[in-house]
Amino acid sequence: MQEVPGKRRRFRAVVLIAVLVVAALVVYAAVTYPKTVVSFPVSFIIGADVENREFEMSPFHGRVQVEVIVSSGTALWWNATIKRQDETIWNDHRSQGDQMTYKSGWMELSSGHYNFTFATAGLGSLQADVKVTTKGGFW
């Protein structure tokens, strides 16, 4: 039985195209995978505290989520804000009593430079972790 040369060439082309498609999907998934861009602990005994952090939205990431995990304590309130230059893009605040996990919804942001501010005020102690995560369209 003799093999047809054109058939072998077509098979190689199909395999090459499949490998390139899989490689492109893997690269796209890698650059759009969720990434923590801001992460810090919050700890105070009495009073107020303000933390400012800057982060960059890459062109492949279009969504952002804010997460506040309070492990113990109380605060009269906490406030989280995302700004671009002097424009407030997103803002939320809560009264806090004891343990809580807060997650914002995924918000659409264009690529660029942003400022994140987390402020607290209280009469008791507060222990928390704050995290800002970005992700791309694949996830």
Regarding whether 71 and 43 lie in a shared domain, the answer is yes
Residue 19 and residue 60 in one domain: no
Statement: residue 105 has pLDDT above 60: yes
Q: Same structural domain for residues 24 and 81?
A: no
Q: Which residues constitute the domain of residue 129? A: 34-136
pLDDT at 52 over 80: yes
Does one domain contain both 65 and 132? yes
**Domains in the chain, number:** 2
The HSE-up count of residue 78 (CA atoms within 13 Å, CB side) is: 29
CB atoms within 10 A of CB 126: 22
Confidence at 2, pLDDT banded by 50, 70, 90: low
Query: Do residues 106 and 127 share a domain?
Result: yes
**43 and 104 housed in the same domain:** yes
Task: Check whether 26 has a pLDDT greater than 70.
Answer: yes
User: Encoding tokens for residue 127?
Assistant: 């222990």
The answer to whether 81 touches 93, Cβ cutoff 8 Å, is no
**For the segment 71-82, what is each residue's pLDDT rounded down to a tens digit?**
887 777 889 999
Residues 38 and 25 placed together within one structural domain of the fold: no
- Joined tokens for residue 55: 């982060």
What three-state secondary structure class fits 138? coil
Q: Which tokens sit at 81?
A: 């804000």
